[in-house]
Amino acid sequence: MTDHPLSSAQTPWQWAIQRATLIADILTSEDFTQLLVQGIDVIAETGQLVSDRPLQVETDSRQLTTRAVLLATGSLPRLPAIPGLETVPYETAEAFLRRESLPESVAIVGSTPLALMLCQILCRGQIPVSLITPNASLLNQEDPDVSRWMTAQLRAEGAQLRLATQVAAITQIDSGVSLNLPDATITAETVIIAVSPAPNLTAIQLEKDWSGDRSLLVNPYLQTQHPRIYACGSVLGSEGMPAIARQEARLAVNNALFWNRQRIDYCALPYGLLTQPAMARVGLTELQAKHRYQEDELLIHRQSLYENPKAQWSASTIGFCKLIAHRNGQLLGCHGVGPEASEWVQTISLLMGQKTPWYAISRYPTIPHSLSDLLRQTAQQWEHDRWQPGKWRRDWAENWFNWRRSR
């Protein structure tokens, strides 16, 4: 394990927050500089969309008229309907990450990706954590194998998970807060509200009411109900996934400048979560694939990291790679959990974009025993299944070699 340069009065949490703040400041300043070098005006002021015919944006010092607007206003915290919540101190997940010190115990209400990552961080810091969610499973939009892995991983690390549970009431006590559940009462020093956020539409000041609690609806070109107003990021309800928001922004800007030429394809967008080990995904889940295709048309295989020599050597055997494909060769999805899950998924995403058939993966050269070799091993399992006794390939090969031996 690498030693961190901690001062005598600094905790690991304080060092991590300080380091993250420094990196964010460096990257933000470089982004502004690059934009200015490219000839883009950067106005570091709050803006409001005040007119849609023509499109006008007002800031503290300027009024701009434009042909198109891209809304990337993000999201706002959404508060669940819990009796007594307004009478107790609470924090959002984003605000908690700015704390200078950790509390003695934490209760998390909600199961957003950020909530799960924060839950794991606290467990590894030996902080008692209870996570309460009305959902019957975690990451219910992900593949069932990934959802089950996340649930098992958090429980193994000490998190108290209360799935399919509603908070009946919350009250303040001397030691913090008390949460009343249908079958128990939980106390914690700090409560974190981490439910799915609401779109931030406060910057839209138009006659037509754009306010609401739902995410903005867009077409495949990322146009809103106004054909010259585009949107991207968490204002669309993507839970703030940077990989998805970046691709949305690129396509929306391109369409706004050069007419609508590019359509968003979420099935080809890879993204991941910074869990330990990391989780990444691209394409359809197993349930989505079975809903779209007949079950006998699908090829689904999962390869465990436990069988990989490098994973054994580095003691990183927790994880798996799951490939989903059609029998016609089309790659449909990849779901990975492991130290290099993002690399597996990124590779599959590129192959999906190039229409590469799944059976080509088993023939690609890879470094033996590397973690990336897991993709080839997974695809080879399908090749192995195609050559089982009773399959036409096996029968044809036996007849061929019998004929060769008889010549």
Could you state, in order of their start, the residue ranges of all structural domains in the chain?
43-76+198-264, 85-193, 268-386
* Cα–Cα dist 118/95, whole Å: 12
At residue 187, the pLDDT reads 94
Q: Which residues pair with 239 in a beta bridge?
A: none
Contact 212, 201 (CB under 8 A): yes
Contacts of 348 (CB under 8 A, 6+ apart): 270, 282, 283, 323, 331, 334, 375
Fold of 85-193: FAD/NAD(P)-binding domain (3.50.50)
At residue 291, the pLDDT reads 94
- The predicted model gives 353-362 an average pLDDT of 86
Q: What confidence tens digit (pLDDT) does each residue in 125-167 have? A: 899 999 999 999 999 899 999 999 999 999 999 999 999 999 9
DSSP labels, 45-90: S--EEEEETTEEEE-SS-EEEES-EEE---EE------TTGGGS--
Give, as one character, the DSSP assignment of residue 317: -
pTM of the model: 0.83
Q: Is 90 exceeded by the pLDDT of residue 123?
A: yes
* Cα–Cα dist 100/262, whole Å: 44
User: Nearest-CA neighbor of 374 among 310, 313, 315, 308?
Assistant: 308
Fold of 43-76+198-264: FAD/NAD(P)-binding domain (3.50.50)
Q: What residue type is 363 in one-letter code?
A: R
Full 3-state SS string of 260-302 = CCCCCCHHHCCEEECCCCCEEEEECCHHHHHHHCCHHHEEEEE
User: b/e string for 137-156 if b means 16 or more Cβ within 10 A?
Assistant: bbbeebbebbbebbbebbee
* Cα–Cα dist 56/75, whole Å: 22
Q: What confidence tens digit (pLDDT) does each residue in 284-317 have? A: 999 999 999 999 899 888 888 888 888 888 888 8
Q: Is the dihedral angle over the CA atoms 147, 149, 154, 155 positive or is it negative? A: positive
- Ramachandran sector of residue 41 (left: φ over 0; alpha: ψ -120 to 50; beta: rest): beta
CATH class name, domain 268-386: alpha beta
- Ramachandran sector of residue 74 (left: φ over 0; alpha: ψ -120 to 50; beta: rest): left
Q: What confidence tens digit (pLDDT) does each residue in 22-57 have? A: 887 777 766 777 888 888 888 888 888 888 888 999
Please tell me if the domain spanning 43-76+198-264 has the same topology as the one spanning 85-193: yes
Helix (H) or strand (E) holding 331: strand 331-337
